[in-house]
């Protein structure tokens, strides 16, 4: 069933079509930063990164998301040229071989434009057009989907869910004013971005509220929740925490999930779909 209000049914993404409501789409992660918060950064290791992307695709990824700047708390910002040096040589190789759409994870329009020229077909902006609104003009010109994530400096909220929804609504409006089609906008409530642990859980509890924004929802919980903090258990690989939060997100309205461990999470998503969508 399609749980998105209104006529929105599908999004063109390169040569692929994402048909919302039919199933959950899997976005697999390739980090090209040297300081990824999960320790999986492959900066400069092109062969390893390409092998990872190929494995993610084989395991069921519908999209490969490539990023060159760490989003961990306290990470140093990366300049445009340095980010290009990390991402573009790999993007050129990947786009020539991938059979699924490739996404560029950046908030810089210069990086995104260069990646699109090399074959990327989605822009994933973790700052929801707050850092560089020119990304909206670029997405409109190129006719590519735009993922807009809620993010903010600090973690102070008076009304958490309403403020996150309002922020996403503003990002959507900026995109549409620039000419981005509503069919090409995907919203992400930004778990882990400007939010502490309990706030992330609160958003997951009320994820259904975000359906009112009328756009497909992407949710990324991968490796962000630690049983050591939430459950008082020894920290481990976080597969269990990721699977639990991802399945709950699907049950409450997520259309796409962004994950590191595609194989096991794709199976969990398919099972969740069997319960929720059919």
| 198 located within any domain | yes
| 9 located within any domain | no
Bridge partners, residue 18, by sequence: 11
The residue whose two tokens read 């990646």 is 115
| 3 located within any domain | no
| 118 located within any domain | yes
Q: How many domains does the chain have?
A: 1
pLDDT at res. 167: 98
CATH of residue 173: 3.20.20.20
- Of the listed 52, 86, 223, 258, which one is catalytic? 258
| 34 located within any domain | yes
The domain in which residue 51 lies consists of 23-276
Annotation marks residue 258 as catalytic: yes
Query: How far out from the chain centre does Cα 169 lie?
Result: 17
| 8 located within any domain | no
- Of the listed 172, 224, 238, 252, which one is catalytic? 224
Map residue 32 onto helix, strand or coil.
Answer: coil
| 52 located within any domain | yes
Q: Whole-angstrom Cα distance, residue 206 to residue 21?
A: 19
Answer whether 0.85 is exceeded by the pTM: yes
Q: Which helix (H) or strand (E) holds 245?
A: helix 239-251
> For residue 125, what is the DSSP state?
E
Annotation marks residue 108 as catalytic: no
pLDDT in tens, the chain (278 residues): 446 656 568 999 998 999 999 999 999 999 998 754 444 556 667 888 899 999 999 999 999 999 999 876 667 789 999 999 999 999 999 988 999 999 999 999 999 999 999 999 999 999 999 999 999 999 999 999 999 999 999 999 999 999 999 999 999 999 999 999 999 999 999 998 999 888 999 999 999 999 999 999 999 988 776 545 667 666 667 888 889 999 999 999 999 999 999 999 999 999 999 999 87
| 241 located within any domain | yes
């Amino acid at each position: 069933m399609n749980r998105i209000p209104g006529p929105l049914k599908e999004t063109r993404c390169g040569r692929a079509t994402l048909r919302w409501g039919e199933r959950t789409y899997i976005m697999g992660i390739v980090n090209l930063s040297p300081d990824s918060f999960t320790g999986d950064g492959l900066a400069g290791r092109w062969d390893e990164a390409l092998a990872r992307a190929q494995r993610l695709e084989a395991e069921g990824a519908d999209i490969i998301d490539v990023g060159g700047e760490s989003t961990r708390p306290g990470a140093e910002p990366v300049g445009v040229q340095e980010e290009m040096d990390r991402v573009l040589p790999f993007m050129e190789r990947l786009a020539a071989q991938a059979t699924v759409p490739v996404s560029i994870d950046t908030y810089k329009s210069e990086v995104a434009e260069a990646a699109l020229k090399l074959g990327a077909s989605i822009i994933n902006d973790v700052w929801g057009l707050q850092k560089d609104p020119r990304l909206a003009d670029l997405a409109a010109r190129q006719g590519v989907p735009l993922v807009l994530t809620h993010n903010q400096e600090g973690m102070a909220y008076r009304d958490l869910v309403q403020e996150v929804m309002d922020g996403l609504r503003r990002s959507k409006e900026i995109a549409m004013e620039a000419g981005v089609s509503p069919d090409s906008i995907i919203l992400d409530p930004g778990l882990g971005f400007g939010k502490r642990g309990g706030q992330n859980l609160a958003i997951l509890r009320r994820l259904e509220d975000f359906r009112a924004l009328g756009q497909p929802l992407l949710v990324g919980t991968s490796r962000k929740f630690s049983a050591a903090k939430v459950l008082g258990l020894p920290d481990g690989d976080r597969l269990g925490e990721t699977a639990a939060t991802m399945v709950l997100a699907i049950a409450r309205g997520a259309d796409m999930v962004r994950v590191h461990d595609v194989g096991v999470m794709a199976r969990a998503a398919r099972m969740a779909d069997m319960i929720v969508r059919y």
